[in-house]
Structure 1
Amino acid sequence: MQRRDVVTALAAALAVPAALGTSPATAQEHPGHGPAPDELTRRMLAVLTAELDDRAAARSLVPHVHDVGFDWHPETAPLRKLDFLVAYGFGNRPPAGGGDPTKVRPEPGPVNEELADTVARIRRHRTIPVYAQWEIARFLESKYRMRHVISIEPVVAPDGTITYLSTDGVAAQVAKAREHLPGGVGTAGVVGFRDHIKRCVQTTRDRGMKAYAPQGHTMPHTYDPKSGQPWTRRRDLYLVHDMAAQWQVLREKLVTGAFPQG
C-alpha cells in the first residue's frame, strides 16, 4: 500500500466515529467496551498491516489501539446497583498564598468544584458513602456539608513534604478502606472528569473493585487554563497524557501476562 493510500485509509478510520454519531454530547450514554465497528477495525487492520508488513502483529494491536485511542467511555450501571461513590480529582490551582509547592497544598480549583457538584447531584438520588480525593472532599464538606464523606488525603512526610496520590494511589486507598467491611467491598460508582473517567473506572477495577460510571449522569468536561498541572489545561494535551497512562498500564499487563516469571 502506498503512503498516500495509508494516510487516506487512516483518515477514513478516524472519520468513522463521527459518521456513527459519537460526540461529547452523546458519549455519556455510550455503553462502553463493546466490539469496535467492523468498518473501523477493518480499516485499522489494513493500515497497520501495510505499515508493519505483519498481519498477525497488526491483528493483535488493533483491539488495543481502538480501546486506547477510539473509546473514551466507561461501562455504566444504574445508581441502584452502586454501593458507594469514588470521586477522582482533576487538576488544581497553585497555592493562593504562594510558598513551597512541595509543602503547601494547592487550591482545589474550579474543576474539582464541578466534580463535587456532580457528586452532590448523584447523592440526591441515593445516599451512599463517598470516597473523594481531598480536592473534591473539601467542597463536599464546605459547600454541601455532606455527611458520610471519606477524604482521600495526600501523604505528608515528617518534614512536611507532600506526596500527592496518583489515580492508582487513590484507588488503592479506597480498596484498603473497604477490604474488611462485613458486606464486602461492594460496587463502586465512579465520578471523574469526562476525559479521565474511563481510566478512573479501569484503575478502580484493577484494584479489585467492581466499578462503573453512574448511568445517566454527565461528567464535567470544561478544562481550566489556569490549572497548576499543565497537562490538565487543554484537551489536546490531556488526551495524549491519558493515552500514555493507559498504554503504560497495558504494557505492564501484557508483559506480565506473557512472562509471569519475569
Structure 2
Amino acid sequence: MVDRRRFLARSIVLTAAAMPAVIHAQKVPSSSDSDPELLSSMRTRLARELDDPALAATLAPSILNVGFEWTSPMRPAADLRAVIAYSFGNRLAADPKAQPEPGPVNEVLADTVVRVHKLLPSGSRIYAQWEIAHFLTAKYGFKDVVSIEPVIAADGTVTYLSTDGVAEAAVKRAGGTAAIGPVAVVGHRDHAKRCVLTSRGRGMDAWVAKEVSLPVEYDAESGQPWTRRRDLYLLHDMAAQMMMLRAAKIAEAYPKG
C-alpha cells in the first residue's frame, strides 16, 4: 500500500489528470438566462480587463456557470431506476500503509442513499463508491450493492478513483448505460453538480432526486485536505469544473485533435 503522503499526492495528481477524460459530448448549460444582470456586469468587467469585448462575451457565461451556479438538475425519484453514489473525503487509517477508512461524511451519504432508494421503484440497483458501500452493507445490511472499489496493483499501490473513474466503473459494472436507466445521483451537496455532469459525460441519464436533501457536512479530519473545509472544496470543485470545460471546449474546437 502507498503511505499517507504518497496516497494524498497521488489523489491530487490523478484527480487532475482524469479531468480531460470527461468530454463525451458533454456541454455545460448556457448561463445567459440565469442572471442577465450579473452576466452583463461580468462581460463589461472582463472586456475592460482583457481589452477584448468579443472574448469577454465568450468567456463570461462559462465563468458564471462554474463560479455562481451550484444547483443540480433534479427529477422526482419515481422517474429514476438506479442510484449512483459518489464518496466525499475519507479518514486515514491508523496504519499508514493501510487503505483509508470511509469516514463520517460517507456514512451520512450512505444514509442519504437509503432514503433515496426507498423512493425508487422496487428492484432499483445501487452503484456506490466503496466508502459509501461499506456503510450500506455494515450498517443497513444491503447485500446487492455494486461497490466501486479502488484499483490495487500487484505491488499494493492504490489508484485513486476520480469522480469520472467511479462513473466509468459503474457503467462497466452495469453492462452499459441502458442497463442503468435514469439514475439518481447521491453526492455531497457541493459535489453533486459535478457528479451529475460527470455521470452524463459517461452517458448516464443522471439527476438528483428532488425529494431528498443532500449532505452538507464537512469533516475537519478528512484524509483529503480539500474536503475538510467548504472554502477549500469549492475552489477545488471549480478548478475541476474548469478542467472539464477546458477539455470539452478543446474537443469541440479541434475534434480531430
Q: Do they superpose with TM above 0.5?
A: yes
Find the counterpart in structure 1 of residue 99 from structure 2: 105
- What runs of 5+ residues in structure 2 fail to find an aligned partner? 1-28
**d(CA) in 2 for partners of 1:123 and 1:248?**
32
Residue pair 2:78, 2:119 contacting (<8 A) in 1 also: no
Tell me how far apart the structure 2 counterparts of residues 33 and 119 of structure 1 sit (CA, whole Å): 30
Q: Name the counterpart of 1:219.
A: 214
The aligned runs of 1:1-262 (5 Å cut-off) are 35-95=33-93, 97-100=94-97, 104-126=98-120, 127=122, 128-180=124-176, 184-262=179-257
Seq. identity, %? 50
What value does the CA root-mean-square deviation take over the aligned residues?
Answer: 1.6
Q: 1:189-240 CA distances to partner (integer Å, 9 max, x unpaired)?
A: 1000010000000000000111001112111111100000001001111111
Structure 2-normalised TM-score?
Answer: 0.84
Question: 1:33, CA displacement in angstroms?
Answer: 6.9
Number of residue pairs aligned between Structure 1 and Structure 2: 226
Q: Which runs of 5+ in 1 are unaligned?
A: 1-31
Higher Rg: 1
Alpha-carbon shift at residue 37 of structure 1 (Å): 1.4
Give the number of the structure with larger relative contact order, counting CA–CA contacts within 8 Å between residues 6 or more apart.
Answer: 2
> What CA distance in whole angstroms lies between the structure 2 residues aligned with 1:261 and 1:36?
33
Given the superposition, is the C-alpha separation of residues 168 and 180 from structure 1 closer, same or farther in structure 2, using an over 3 Å criterion?
closer
SS of 1:212 mapped into structure 2 = strand
Compute the TM-score of the two structures, normalised by the length of structure 1.
0.83
Deviation track 1:146-194 (CA, whole Å, cap 9, x = no partner) reads 243110000011122111211000000111122358x644111100001
Q: Distance in 2 between matches of 1:232 and 1:180?
A: 31
Q: Give, as a single letter, the amino acid of the residue that structure 2 aligns with 1:48.
A: L
* Moved >6 Å (runs of 4+): none
Give the secondary structure class of the aligned counterpart of 1:208: coil
